[in-house]
Amino acid sequence: MLIALASLKASPGVTTAALALAALWPGGQQVLVVEADPAGGDLAARFGMEPKPGLVSLSAAARREHRVQVAFEHAQQLPGGLSVIAAPAAAEQADGALELLTGDGLPLWSNLARDPEVVAVVDCGRLDAGSHAHRIIAAADIALLLARPTLEECDRLAKSLDALAIRAEATNTELGLVLAGPGFDRDQVQANMRMRVWAQLPHDRKAAALLGGATGKRRHLAALALPKAARSLGAELAAHHARADDAEPPAEDMPEAAKGPAPHRVRSAA
């Protein structure tokens, strides 16, 4: 399963949300966080990680090998054991690595999406028009846009969602929203955007600091507000994905007349 997280502008906490979702994932799959922000990454600096292995070394290896385990071979472990592939801090290096990783038919990302034993959570950073991360979103099962539920950000979302929804529908990616912090509640935003709001993550400085590498009692992390919300979001995503898999039999098992066009996977609130 491949889950892509991104924002349209500002910094609503995509990296923190990706770490929380992955660290609190409720299933028994192998979980991997990929920092795929073309503007450069923060994880290596936050956690004192070595430059390699990481996104750059993976981009070189993935030109020859597209196996899912190749991604894990270029990951490092955070305190607690979560596997992460960190992007370089420099935007030029990060963007170059992503250009290599998103070319050639996206075999690695497609393999990650198809593997039932793996959950890959990809931090795509800010989704500018020319971002190579659009290609990762095209391969994802679910793409979640993070935004603060303020008037300014909701207005920006409203002006951008139609184009993003068309892209998502064309690639059979399910597009949804996650709200970060206080403001309009999720029902208000869902009704106005006509798109599913999967969660409203609380503003939780203590949990965000621990997830960002601060020292502290990590054994209490799961009891904090943000991790609780992330675990609930993960459970909803996992259950939804399982239902979607059960509802869609393999194409080779279906008669030609029954195949029809690909299903529309952009969910509205209606």
pLDDT digits (tens, 9 = 90+) for 141-196: 999 999 999 998 888 888 888 888 888 888 888 999 999 999 998 899 998 888 89
Q: Write out the H or E segment, with its range, that includes residue 91.
A: helix 91-101
Rounded to the nearest 10°, the torsion over CA 208, 143, 187, 23 is -30
User: Residues 86, 76: contact at Cβ < 8 Å?
Assistant: yes
**Percentage of the chain exceeding pLDDT 90:** 57
Q: Assign 3-class secondary structure to 137-202.
A: HHHCCEEEEEECCCHHHHHHHHHHHHHHHHHHHHCCCEEEEEEECCCCCHHHHHHHHCCCEEEEEC
User: Residues 76, 109: contact at Cβ < 8 Å?
Assistant: no
- b (16+ CB within 10 A) / e for 244-254: eeeeeeeeeee
Give backbone dihedrals phi and psi of 203, rounded to 5 degrees, phi first.
Answer: -80, 110
Q: How far is CA 132 from CA 37, 101, 126, 246, in A?
A: 9, 9, 11, 31
pLDDT-based confidence at 247, cuts 50/70/90? low
DSSP secondary structure letter of residue 87: P
pLDDT-based confidence at 256, cuts 50/70/90? very low
Q: Write out the H or E segment, with its range, that includes residue 98.
A: helix 91-101
Mean pLDDT of 103-108: 80
pTM score? 0.87
Contacting residues for 236 by C-beta, under 8 A, at least 6 apart? 198, 199
Mean pLDDT of 23-32: 92
Position 240, amino acid: H
User: Residues 31, 112: contact at Cβ < 8 Å?
Assistant: no
What's the chain's Rg over C-alpha atoms?
Answer: 18
Contacting residues for 177 by C-beta, under 8 A, at least 6 apart? 144, 145, 146, 147, 157, 189, 190, 193, 195, 196, 197, 198
Tell me the domain boundaries of the chain.
Answer: 2-242
Q: Which CATH class is domain 2-242?
A: alpha beta
Residues in the chain: 270
